[in-house]
Structure 1
Amino acid sequence: MAISVPPTSPPSPSEPPADAAAAATERDRLSAALRSGSSRSASALATRIRALDHATARLRGDHAETPDDARMQTLVAINESIGRLQALGSTAAVIEAAPEELCRSCGFSRAMLSRVHGSVWVPEVLYTAPEAPDMPEFRDYVDVVEIPLEHMLLETDLVRRRIPVYVKDPQNDNRTFREIIQIADVRSYAAAPIMPTRRVIGFLHADRRGQDRPVGPEDRDSMWAFAEHFGLLFERMILVERLERQRQEINATLMRAADAVNALCEEELELARHEHPAEARGHAHPSSRPSALSSLLSAREREVLELVASGATNTVVAEQLVISQGTVKSHVKRILRKLHVANRAEAVARYLQLLRLEEGPR
């Protein structure tokens, strides 16, 4: 004969047991009901079990953290870290700061960023959090080592498969690079590829040295999220830097073109009879060649430079040549560029040097 469920009304989530004793009493009642095997009360039992679960969670702590809560907090921290990296403004600074941000957002105590150069793995930046013991021998090792990406090496598999990994026991795992594992005294770690495109350009490695718990699968997943965001940020910053270099080169080209046009427009008219090029070639000595100054500077630019070399200011040069001071400045700017010098003094020194070469030994 089946034992009936005790005649108590099922508590709802809004009316949970008030304390631990009430929860224990309710748990005993539910145990008795389950042992009775009464099928007529299955729905009521399910409702009471759910209510007891909610009540127990609240009694343990209203703010008890669930795995989903921890995961969400880590993702928020990763987003904040990526924002701080983006604010740095240069790829060099981002590479330097990435391992520290990985530790800060994902809870690691030690992290390393490496680059992949052909078939070689090259550690670049190592960060050790204050709570982790510093290992100078490991830091010195990272500064000089280059590791071949050989067959069966775990990092080689990262390049090939393009997915993150976590290693529970690296000391006894044949896939790890034993030398770096022993020097760093790694007990467990996670690694993820950095790949802005489909090609892996680097790695992130991290562990929890100095902490109570080892690296686990959840750390691997957090690192993967960080590596993906970091790869996208790095690609964007590289493109921005390349565009900036192109902009500067285009601006320099346009400025040179503008200077050339200005030179044509400002060239003084001369009332002189010019020989035909063929006639000039016929009268020239076969062995004669244009001087270095003539090949570098126009006639007007030589006149300006001669006056500058004599100590004349822009105002004096303008008066002597009957041109504006703005035209003199334009000529001086082109002279500096053509002679590859930074200022007027260097231009005069270069001019005197070329003059001595033209005159030859006396």
Structure 2
Amino acid sequence: MADELDRAISDTLAEMRTATSEHAVELGRRLVDLLDRRNALAATRTADIAAIAEGIDRAVHALDDAASSAELMRRACERAAELCSADKVVLSRFDGDRIIPVAAFSADPDTTPALPAGFGLPAGSPEARALETNTVTVGSQIPAELRETLGANGFTIVPVVVDGTAAALVHVGTPLDGSRRHALAVFAEVLGGCFERVGLESRRDRQDVLLRESAQRWSSDTEFDTVTARGSADLTQAGAEHDDAARRLLDPLTEREADVVRLILTGASNSTIAAELVITVDTVKSHVKRILRKLGATNRAELIAKYQSSTR
């Protein structure tokens, strides 16, 4: 629309240069009308951009307050719908080469959207293009698994990057224009950062508890008689010593690699670790390779044995 008005203004000015006096008056009226329309359009666009900026600010505050991954995913769907003026949103994670919906939102208060089944990533699909380019992508052919949830009037998708890897997709049930597509890209970037924060805060606390319990359980298996004689005070000291030993073992690792080790020590599989840390299975495998190399272990069993040995 703006481009059409600019062209019309340019054509009118060119025509006025050679117009007769009588015709120039008519062209002058047309020019005034075109300029008024362009100014009105510019004012509307400015107001729209201001509203989008306010929407991004509200979304950031809502995401930042989320205390768990489940709450973060629910709020992400709600805020994406508000930001994009959409009725339906689906948030999905990756499991290998499959897309697994994990949260959904519907603006209809009488409807609780059911989570669609997981589906593969079709080559050449809008989802594949969004992941290849790491950009917001508009599509018209909605995957069959999402049609009941998103509708059939076109959609927009954006990848969510966590720890440097696309770990999730946001499907918005409407095609977006330029300004709202940009807003969705900013939103996805903030969401990725929030996933990292929640993962580091809530999961580390839970994993530390599991790690401590495992250390105490291994300790009781090998030192049951001694621990029983010492009483509860010595058991607490033994637990602290195990924690110190565990920290020494994890010293060479990055924070994310330490998170992966804590889950390995609880017996978690690659897919479970990926779900817990909101990363892909391939990323988990890469972390595991680096962990084994850094800690001098050839496989998970040897890694666990090293931990047991260091905490005895």
Q: What TM-score, normalized to structure 2? A: 0.55
Query: Is structure 2 residue 6 aligned with structure 1 residue 34?
Result: no
- Shift in Å at residue 335 of structure 1? 6.3
Q: Tell me the residue number matched to 1:238.
A: 199
Is the CA contact 2:89–2:104 (under 8 Å) kept in the aligned structure 1?
Answer: yes
- The alpha-carbon distance between structure 1 residues 246 and 188, as it changes in their structure 2 partners (threshold 3 A), is closer
Unaligned runs of 5+ in 1: 1-29, 171-175, 209-213, 257-291, 302-330, 339-362
Query: Is structure 2 residue 134 aligned with structure 1 residue 203?
Result: no
Is the CA contact 1:190–1:223 (under 8 Å) kept in the aligned structure 2?
Answer: no
- The alpha-carbon distance between structure 1 residues 81 and 294, as it changes in their structure 2 partners (threshold 3 A), is closer
Query: Is structure 2 residue 47 aligned with structure 1 residue 81?
Result: no
Please state whether the residue corresponding to 2:59 is helix, strand or coil: helix
- Shift in Å at residue 94 of structure 1? 0.8
Paired AA for residue 160 in structure 2: I
Once the two structures are superposed, the pairs formed by residues 148-167 of structure 1 within 5 Å of their partners are 148-167=120-139
- The alpha-carbon distance between structure 1 residues 80 and 335, as it changes in their structure 2 partners (threshold 3 A), is closer
C-alpha separation between the residues in 2 aligned to 1:141 and 1:294? 52
Paired AA for residue 237 in structure 1: V
Which 10-residue stretch deviates more, 188-197 or 220-229?
220-229
- The alpha-carbon distance between structure 1 residues 152 and 51, as it changes in their structure 2 partners (threshold 3 A), is closer
Is the CA contact 2:89–2:105 (under 8 Å) kept in the aligned structure 1?
Answer: yes
2:227 alignment partner, one of 284, 296, 311: 296
- Shift in Å at residue 187 of structure 1? 1.1
- Shift in Å at residue 149 of structure 1? 1.8
Paired AA for residue 160 in structure 1: E
Q: Tell me the residue number matched to 1:147.
A: 119
Paired AA for residue 229 in structure 1: V
Which 10-residue stretch deviates more, 232-241 or 222-231?
232-241
- Shift in Å at residue 53 of structure 1? 6.0
Please state whether the residue corresponding to 1:157 is helix, strand or coil: helix
- The alpha-carbon distance between structure 1 residues 235 and 47, as it changes in their structure 2 partners (threshold 3 A), is farther
* Aligned-pair Cα RMSD in Å: 4.5
Please state whether the residue corresponding to 2:89 is helix, strand or coil: strand
Q: Deviations over 1:244-301 (max 9, x none)?
A: 5688799x79xx9xxxxxxxxxxxxxxxxxxxxxxxxxxxxxxxxxxx9744333xx4
Q: Which has the larger Rg? A: 1
Please state whether the residue corresponding to 2:201 is helix, strand or coil: helix
C-alpha separation between the residues in 1 aligned to 2:186 and 2:225? 64
Percent identical among aligned pairs is: 17
Total equivalences in the alignment: 218
C-alpha separation between the residues in 2 aligned to 1:182 and 1:333? 59
- Shift in Å at residue 233 of structure 1? 2.2
Q: What TM-score, normalized to structure 1? A: 0.48
Once the two structures are superposed, the pairs formed by residues 5-44 of structure 1 within 5 Å of their partners are 34=16, 37=19
Once the two structures are superposed, the pairs formed by residues 339-354 of structure 1 within 5 Å of their partners are none
C-alpha separation between the residues in 1 aligned to 2:130 and 2:148? 21
Is the CA contact 1:115–1:203 (under 8 Å) kept in the aligned structure 2?
Answer: yes
Is the CA contact 1:78–1:106 (under 8 Å) kept in the aligned structure 2?
Answer: no
Q: Deviations over 1:133-185 (max 9, x none)?
A: 84x7xx4451xx11112323332332222111112x32xxxxx5234336753
- The alpha-carbon distance between structure 1 residues 230 and 53, as it changes in their structure 2 partners (threshold 3 A), is same
Is the CA contact 2:84–2:176 (under 8 Å) kept in the aligned structure 1?
Answer: no
- Shift in Å at residue 224 of structure 1? 1.7
- The alpha-carbon distance between structure 1 residues 153 and 48, as it changes in their structure 2 partners (threshold 3 A), is closer
Once the two structures are superposed, the pairs formed by residues 263-282 of structure 1 within 5 Å of their partners are none
- The alpha-carbon distance between structure 1 residues 244 and 101, as it changes in their structure 2 partners (threshold 3 A), is same
Which 10-residue stretch deviates more, 177-186 or 196-205?
177-186
- The alpha-carbon distance between structure 1 residues 243 and 295, as it changes in their structure 2 partners (threshold 3 A), is closer
Q: Tell me the residue number matched to 1:112.
A: 90
Q: Tell me the residue number matched to 1:178.
A: 144
Higher helix share: 2
Q: Deviations over 1:97-138 (max 9, x none)?
A: 11011112221111111001211100011100137x84x7xx
Is the CA contact 1:116–1:201 (under 8 Å) kept in the aligned structure 2?
Answer: yes
Please state whether the residue corresponding to 2:162 is helix, strand or coil: coil
C-alpha separation between the residues in 1 aligned to 2:105 and 2:161? 21
C-alpha separation between the residues in 1 aligned to 2:206 and 2:47? 44
